[in-house]
Amino acid sequence: MPHDHHHDEHDHTEPPSDLELRVKALESLLVEKGLVNPDTLNTIIDTYEHKVGPRNGAHVVAKAWTDPEFKQALMTDATEAVASLGYCGRQGEHLMVVENTDDTHNLVVCTLCSCYPWTVLGLPPAWYKSAPYRSRAVSAPREVLSEFGTNLDEDKKIRVWDSTSEMRYLVLPQRPLGTEGWSEADLQALVSRNSMIGVELARAPDSGAEASQ
């Protein structure tokens, strides 16, 4: 099971854990042997901690909601359409967008590891990589959705996408009712990361941009 998620909060007078020491030793060894450049490590961390993240995907979704031509291009060739907004690279080489409709809801998982569309969503959240999600997203999708507070009608079909190849899937959530006339920038605030994985719907306009459900 995933260990506790609060390593950062521990009292810093504690000695480092065996794991911290093991990683430090490995890093020192690799640097000493000239196999990694320490500045490169910092660049990689900075890229995925501060630059590439779910705001990219929210931009894609809000544009698709407001620009029919872009939406058509996105549904035809998502890799190219997303690249036209400047989002491309590692773990986004082969993108497909799957659209939620009145009849069908889409949910994305990687049962075998943690495949995820980095270029539009950044790195996956801890729960996406966890055994509980990976095991049940395919076998009990309604139960999984309810654990995120998402309760769908029985007659709504769920399509689960298991990311077993290098194809990466992004859910296009339905545009919330009551947002007629909203600008693309305002709409972006309604597009949560979770709605683009498919475990939630886009936020309602009166929910406040920070509410997650």
167 binds another protein (CB under 8 A): yes
88 binds another protein (CB under 8 A): yes
- CA-closest candidate to residue 212, choices 162, 171, 201: 201
CA distance 65 to 80: 18
Selected from 148, 189, 205, 207, the binder of another protein by CB under 8 A is 148
- Identify residues 21-80 at the interface with another protein (CB under 8 A): 22-27, 29-30, 32-37, 39-45, 47-49, 53
185 binds another protein (CB under 8 A): no
114 is catalytic: yes
161 binds another protein (CB under 8 A): yes
Residue 67 vs 89, nearer CB to another protein:
89
Selected from 73, 75, 85, 160, the binder of another protein by CB under 8 A is 160
Q: Is residue 53 within 8 Å of residue 122, measured between CB atoms?
A: yes
What is the pattern of x (binds another protein, CB under 8 A) and - over residues 104-143?
-----x-xxxx----x--xx-xxx-xxxxxxxx-xxxxxx
Q: Is residue 106 within 8 Å of residue 198, measured between CB atoms?
A: yes
Residue 94 vs 185, nearer CB to another protein:
94
At how many degrees (to 10) do helices 68-76 and 54-66 cross?
A: 120
CA distance 116 to 158: 19
Position of tokens 């709409």?
187
Residue 67 vs 112, nearer CB to another protein:
112
Q: Is residue 168 within 8 Å of residue 158, measured between CB atoms?
A: no
Residue 34 vs 68, nearer CB to another protein:
34
Candidate list 115, 163, 192, 195, residue with the active-site label: 115
Candidate list 17, 28, 113, 139, residue with the active-site label: 113
Q: What are phi and psi of 123, to 5 degrees?
A: -80, 150
Distance of CA 26 to the CA centre of its chain: 29
Q: Give catalytic residue positions.
A: 110, 113-115
